[in-house]
Amino acid sequence: MHHSTLLFDLDGTLTDPREGITRSIQYALAQLGIDEPDLTRLEPFIGPPLLQAFMAFYGFDEARAWEAVGHYRERFKRVGLYENLLFDGVLEMLEHLRGQGRTLYVATSKPSVFAREIARHFAFDHHFTMIYGSELDGTRTDKAELIAHLIAEERLEPAQTLMIGDRKHDLIGARANGLEAVAVGYGFGSHAELMAESPAYHYATLAELRAAFG
């Protein structure tokens, strides 16, 4: 993979945010009178924009979905964003890629304010030129819109830019902007979900992803 610029998704690609996100979703639902004791049922929330996820998975209208997002953020900003784990080997991979002279960015649907705090707390922020996320009002939660914004702001050449992510939203967003994409199989997207988007590359493990960069 020759690309000089790499865009990394955050959740499910660099970190495993399972506990923090699902417990914060559980908290938000409880505030709305919905009891969901099984956290595994809430894992589909990891990756897609939260507002749309609440509407799709629980049938909320937009007003109620925004209310749920507000409750989610109450817990997530205090506790949930720290209930997170870096995947083994991520720091070594990022250091290796920078050593090759590549430029790295984060491109996540998560609000920038949360993404930057996670990167700071887990000490990988210095590997990235900039961390791009959405706004708290929902602007740029769509991955295609986010990547377009990042490319414009940084004046990137799409042919030299590669998107790396674990959900279909990453692959769709890359394709919409003329980027090749890597689908990683160790995150939260199923093999079927990822293959349906025909990514240029697919690596089942982080070790395989790291090896592919030489």
Strands 15-16 and 85-86: antiparallel
Catalytic residue among 9, 16, 142, 166: 9
CA distances from 154 to 49, 72, 210 (A): 23, 31, 25
> How far apart are the C-alpha atoms of 212 and 72, rounded to whole Å?
37
Known catalytic membership, residue 11: no
Q: Which residues contact 153 (CB under 8 A, 6 or more apart)?
A: 132
> How far apart are the C-alpha atoms of 138 and 49, rounded to whole Å?
8
> How far apart are the C-alpha atoms of 214 and 210, rounded to whole Å?
7
> How far apart are the C-alpha atoms of 194 and 190, rounded to whole Å?
6
For the stretch 162-178, what's the b/e string if a residue is b when 16 or more beta carbons lie within 10 angstroms of its beta carbon? bbbbbbbbbbbbbbebe
> How far apart are the C-alpha atoms of 208 and 119, rounded to whole Å?
23
> How far apart are the C-alpha atoms of 116 and 202, rounded to whole Å?
27
Q: Which residues are catalytic?
A: 9
